[in-house]
């Protein structure tokens, strides 16, 4: 009994100790700090990216980000590390050899909410672009868009579509594809969901998010 009272007293006195873990997960961090061999290629920091297969065709985009610095919630960075630590051990997969293993290439992580408004102006289709009024999981740092690469050469593994191809081919339920592509997509899905613990988004094979991502705060600042 005395022990219980002491614990309760400590909790009342130092509530921050018990919430410290949660607060740390709220922080935005650069996944490269935790995973030095992860590849960061933020497509919205480049002026050479398109939204593909919109009703009117492909649309070239301006540069939306001020730098290629990737940020994600610290809980997301930990999950990405778990995924990359597992992928790095692969030496043979799908009929190919990977002398340094397989790794992740990130195309987008945290995205300022003001950019979400610009995306919505371009293509207000909630399957592919979250309505900025509610905000995207990306605006909270809780979502990542990514693919797999050969860690030896940096070459991307073959996947169903390019990033931001807004067609049915981007869906996990689209299976009219060569078997090596289906197998690569399945590897990304199993590592990100079953090994790392992220959630799958059916309409976009490249998008993964942390459970409860919608509960983190909406943010709007540019990367340095």
List of residues contacting Zn ion (CB under 5 A): 143, 145, 207
Q: Which is nearer to Zn ion, 157 or 213 (CB)?
A: 213
Q: CA-CA-CA-CA torsion for 134, 135, 136, 138, nearest 10 degrees?
A: -150
The distance of closest approach from Cβ of residue 207 to Zn ion in the complex, given in angstroms and rounded to an integer, is 4
Q: Which is nearer to Zn ion, 98 or 128 (CB)?
A: 128
Query: What whole-number distance in Å separates Cα of residue 61 and Cα of residue 51?
Result: 7
In degrees rounded to 5, what are phi and psi of residue 97?
-105, 145
Query: What whole-number distance in Å separates Cα of residue 77 and Cα of residue 222?
Result: 19
Q: Which is nearer to Zn ion, 78 or 207 (CB)?
A: 207
Query: What whole-number distance in Å separates Cα of residue 208 and Cα of residue 106?
Result: 11
Q: Which is nearer to Zn ion, 84 or 116 (CB)?
A: 116
Q: Which is nearer to Zn ion, 75 or 143 (CB)?
A: 143
The distance of closest approach from Cβ of residue 219 to Zn ion in the complex, given in angstroms and rounded to an integer, is 15
Residue closest to Zn ion (Cβ): 207
The distance of closest approach from Cβ of residue 188 to Zn ion in the complex, given in angstroms and rounded to an integer, is 13
User: Which of 115-124's residues contact partners 24+ apart within 8 Å by CB, and which partners?
Assistant: 115/44, 115/64, 115/65, 118/64, 122/51, 122/59, 122/61, 123/51, 123/54, 123/59, 123/166
The distance of closest approach from Cβ of residue 208 to Zn ion in the complex, given in angstroms and rounded to an integer, is 8
The distance of closest approach from Cβ of residue 130 to Zn ion in the complex, given in angstroms and rounded to an integer, is 9
């Amino acid at each position: 009994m005395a022990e219980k009272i002491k614990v309760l007293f400590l909790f009342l006195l130092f509530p921050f100790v018990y919430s410290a873990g949660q607060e740390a997960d709220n922080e935005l961090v650069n996944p490269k700090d935790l995973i030095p061999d992860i590849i960061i290629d933020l497509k919205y920091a480049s002026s050479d990216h398109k939204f593909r297969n919109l009703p009117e065709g492909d649309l070239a985009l301006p540069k939306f980000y001020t730098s290629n610095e990737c940020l994600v919630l610290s809980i997301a960075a930990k999950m990405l590390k778990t995924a990359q630590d597992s992928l790095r051990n692969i030496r043979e997969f799908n009929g190919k050899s990977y002398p340094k293993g397989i790794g992740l290439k990130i195309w987008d992580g945290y995205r300022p909410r003001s950019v979400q408004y610009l995306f919505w102006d371009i293509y207000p289709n909630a399957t592919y672009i979250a309505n900025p009024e509610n905000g995207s999981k990306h605006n909270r740092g809780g979502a990542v868009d990514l693919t797999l690469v050969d860690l030896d050469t940096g070459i991307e593994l073959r996947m169903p579509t390019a990033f931001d191809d807004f067609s049915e081919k981007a869906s996990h339920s689209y299976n009219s594809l060569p078997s090596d592509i289906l197998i690569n997509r399945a590897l990304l899905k199993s590592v990100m969901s079953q090994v790392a613990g992220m959630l799958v988004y059916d309409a976009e094979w490249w998008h993964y998010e942390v459970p409860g991502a919608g509960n983190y705060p909406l943010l709007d600042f540019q990367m340095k």
